[in-house]
Chain A
Amino acid sequence: MANKVIYVMYDDDGVLKDGAKKLVSKGIKIADAFSPFPIHGIDPIIGVKNTRLGIMAFIYGLTGLTLATVGMRYFMIVDWPMNIGGKPNFTYLDNILSFIPITFEFTVLCAAHGMAITYLLKNKTLPGMPAQNPDPRTTDDKFVLEIRTADNSIDEKELDELIKDTGYIEIDKKNI
């Protein structure tokens, strides 16, 4: 039997969520869900793990913080100390008050851009990439579940029976 990917289309996010719950309770593995907006609560049902991008943002932020501190210490204290209005600048700590605004801005700059770039790369969404959704209507008002026969040990007919109960509006099978 050829491996197939089945796209089951729904016209409501609630129906899709209930359908996914039903299928999962019967032991079906759902590969993915496509929707025009985030369906809250779908992730634990189909087993999508929470993203770790937040941790990445924190690391990028720390990088920015370190770079700003090291940079300003070198520019203003080590390399070319200047007497500016008599502000104390013998050590970095003497002068730290003046450096806080830029340290903060640079931390935010690195955290935000680092996270955004990681997000785009992880998603494989970059300028000019071809559309990845199975049906153009999934960005409008339709919701699609993707089920792969390779992931599921049960017979295709049985699978069809189970899917029939979930109230879908369209079904599309593709050999892969």
Chain B
Amino acid sequence: MQKEAAIREPLILGHKTYHDITEDVCRPIEDKAPKMWYILFGIALIVGLYGVGCILYLLGTGVGVWGLNKTIGWAWDITNFVWWVGIGHAGTLISAVLLLFRQKWRMAINRSAEAMTIFAVFMAGLFPLIHMGRLWVGYWVLPIPNQFGSLWVNFNSPLLWDVFAISTYLSVSLVFWYIGLIPDFATIRDRAKKPVAKKMYTILSFGWSGRAKHWNRFEMVSLVLAGLATPLVFSVHSIVSFDFATSVIPGWHTTIFPPYFVAGAVFSGFAMVQTLLLIMRKAMSLEAYIHTKHVEYMNIVIMVTGSIVGTAYITELFISWYSGVEYEAYAFLNRATGPYWWAYFAMMTCNVISPQLMWFRKLRRSLLFTFFISIVVNIGMWFERYVIIMTSLHRDYLPSSWSMHYPSPIDIGVYIGTIGLFFTFFLLFARFFPVLALNEIKSILKGSGQSYKESPDYHKNH
């Protein structure tokens, strides 16, 4: 058993036993769902289905139903794609990077953060797929032997790198998440009374035993997957940023993009984790496991990554002037003072100023304030992508092609729809899956549980 400093705040509050942990996590799954769950699920599902309708209309009619024009050929689709991929960065960061750093507080949040990651990457993946227009030839992005003379996909293109990066990220995250879930499904399986539930959880738990050798392998798999997923997290958003950075559009052609996008992704991902967990801990009475200290840790991550993002914005502005390239200088001047100044202003306020408020201990430990800031950050990060994409495109080299972008109802419908689908998936997860990593929480109970830390024996022997 690992000991930690007495002055370090306990991670599990109250006098919990191993059995209490099982009870607390399994009860919401075994009980009837509260009325609020049905209401939220209904709303999310309706919104999600509206989005599916919009997508079907788009597929039937063509990408022309989006508000694109000949100058702005990439707008809300890629904005939403990058936004969702960014949100999908917190989960694996929490479970992989923090595992390597032996951060025990991650254990309370990793399961739901990873679920969020997977659902967010689903939503992200939708946009490149539907923007092909002909969804059914989507498999052309894979290097499959074919009869077009054997014509291969272009491995020099960042867009193809993206295909590989996103699909690797999604599938590896899914596997990592599921391997952690197997022992917890076994816990639910062994408690289940109703035959259907018993059957379902038996299938899901793969016959997990909990024998010493299996745990030995389990820990090795978790560690190696974490080691593999860590560079993967950083590579994925770097590659997403290459979509822009390797082009020659002023405002995109920037070497600062990969680190800046990764920091932004972590920033927005943690904000979404906060939004979801602050509600979930209340609704499922998990306050003993996810409490102020966890929120504070996450707020510190938001503050640090927010500062990196802020520094990147200012560096970009400076370099656009310092480089002496007039097109670059104009792109940034136009970004801040042109017709999209309001989006730039929203981005600067939400992403640069709001995380700085977390320097105040009182504010970063306030749950209500955190919830508010987490929404602000999510909005800000959407505007960041919007600003980068829109302002760089709408002023062409040829002033006669200058243009503006106005989203069509389908643009808006698809975007809102993905939010609905995301919440539909997340609500299903919260209803049927163990939302805390039971086995991991139990393993830190004696080291970081309040009742154990306060007992006089804690710092004796061992």
Q: Is the CB of B165 within 8 A of A115?
A: no
Is B325 part of the contact surface with A, judged by Cβ < 8 Å? Answer: no
Q: Contact partner of B171 among A85, A113, A127, CB < 8 A?
A: A113
Which residues of chain A from 16 to 58 have a CB within 8 Å of any chain B CB? 32-40, 42-43, 46, 48, 50-51, 53-54, 57
Q: Contact partner of B225 among A51, A75, A101, A116, CB < 8 A?
A: A116
Which residues of chain A from 77 to 103 have a CB within 8 Å of any chain B CB? 79-80, 82, 84-85, 87, 95, 98-99, 101-102
Is B359 part of the contact surface with A, judged by Cβ < 8 Å? Answer: no
Task: List chain B residues, Cβ under 8 A from A122.
Answer: 217
Task: List chain B residues, Cβ under 8 A from A87.
Answer: 156
Q: Is the CB of A126 within 8 A of B225?
A: no
- A-contacting 9-mer, from B183-191, B274-282, B384-392: B183-191
Q: Is the CB of A34 within 8 A of B209?
A: yes
Is B203 part of the contact surface with A, judged by Cβ < 8 Å? Answer: yes
Q: Give the dominant DSSP class at B's interface.
A: helix
Q: Is the CB of A38 within 8 A of B216?
A: yes
Q: Contact partner of A119 among B152, B179, B189, CB < 8 A?
A: B179
Q: Is the CB of B442 within 8 A of A37?
A: yes
Task: List chain A residues, Cβ under 8 A from B19.
Answer: 140-141
Q: Contact partner of A131 among B158, B171, B205, B216, CB < 8 A?
A: B205
Q: Is the CB of B154 within 8 A of A82?
A: yes
Is B221 part of the contact surface with A, judged by Cβ < 8 Å? Answer: yes
Task: List chain A residues, Cβ under 8 A from B225.
Answer: 112, 115-116
Q: How far apart are B302's CB and chain A's nearest CB, in angstroms? A: 27
Q: A53-B221, A125-B208 are in contact. Are A105 and B203 (CB under 8 A)?
A: no
Q: Is the CB of A119 within 8 A of B221?
A: yes
Q: Contact partner of A101 among B161, B214, B220, CB < 8 A?
A: B161
Q: Is the CB of B206 within 8 A of A54?
A: no
Please, what's the 1-or-0 string for B175-206, where 1 marks a CB less than 8 Å from any CB in chain A? 11001001100110111000000000011111
Q: Is the CB of B221 within 8 A of A115?
A: yes
Most chain B Cβ neighbours within 10 Å, of A112, A136, A138: A112
Q: Is the CB of A75 within 8 A of B143?
A: yes
Q: A33-B212, A116-B175 are in contact. List 14 more A-B contacts (CB 8 A).
A: A34-B211, A37-B440, A40-B443, A48-B212, A53-B217, A84-B157, A105-B165, A105-B232, A115-B221, A125-B182, A128-B207, A133-B208, A136-B191, A141-B22
Residues of A in contact with B (beta carbons under 8 Å apart): 14, 32-40, 42-43, 46, 48, 50-51, 53-54, 57, 61, 71-72, 75-76, 79-80, 82, 84-85, 87, 95, 98-99, 101-102, 104-106, 108-109, 111-113, 115-116, 119-120, 122-133, 136-141
What are 29 of the A-B contact pairs (CB < 8 Å)? A32-B212, A35-B210, A35-B215, A36-B210, A37-B439, A37-B443, A38-B215, A38-B439, A50-B220, A53-B220, A75-B153, A76-B152, A99-B155, A101-B158, A101-B161, A102-B155, A105-B165, A112-B225, A112-B228, A125-B214, A126-B206, A128-B202, A132-B209, A137-B190, A138-B190, A139-B183, A139-B187, A140-B191, A141-B22
